[in-house]
Amino acid sequence: MVKDASSTDQLITFILKGIEDVKGQDIDILDLREIENTVCDYFVICNGTSNTQVNAIVNSVQKVVSKELKDKPWHVEGTDNSEWVLIDYVNIVVHVFQKHIREFYDIEGLWGDAKVTSIATNY
């Protein structure tokens, strides 16, 4: 399914709102569009301080996106231990980590060619 740029921008906006509503931390958007053979256009990466907060972020993102855009993720995985939860909206994949797991896997380092936009939070 190919989405136009405005619907992609809207989806990113509401994903960020969902993360910020429950104080997700260290939010980065990786633009993968210039990289060959990627599975999606963007990664949105953030972390929570515990499995409880990771679950809260995941639930908040899904609730906000569903309410605002009537869109559901194609796939969600990792909720069994909530150390790294992936929410797949096809052209945007959201990664919600616990901080130590994020540091271990270093997704930003693996995708070093991606353009990274860090989102400032006021909390």
CATH of the domain at 69: 3.30.460.10
Q: What type of residue sits at position 70?
A: K
107: enclosing H helix or E strand: helix 107-110
Residues 43, 114 contacting (CB under 8 angstroms): yes
Classify residue 123: in a domain, yes or no: no
The total domain count for the chain is: 1
Q: Tell me: the pLDDT tens digits for 15-62? A: 999 999 999 999 999 999 999 999 999 999 999 999 999 999 999 999
CB 54 within 8 A of CB 3: no
Residue 105 lies in a domain: yes
Q: Is residue 95 part of a domain?
A: yes
- pLDDT computed for residue 6 by the predictor: 87
pLDDT of 5 reads: 78
Residue 3's pLDDT is 55
Residue 90 lies in a domain: yes
Number of other residues whose CB lies within 10 A of the CB of residue 69: 15
Q: Which pLDDT score is estimated for 30?
A: 98
Residues of the domain holding 81: 5-118
In a domain, 13, yes or no: yes
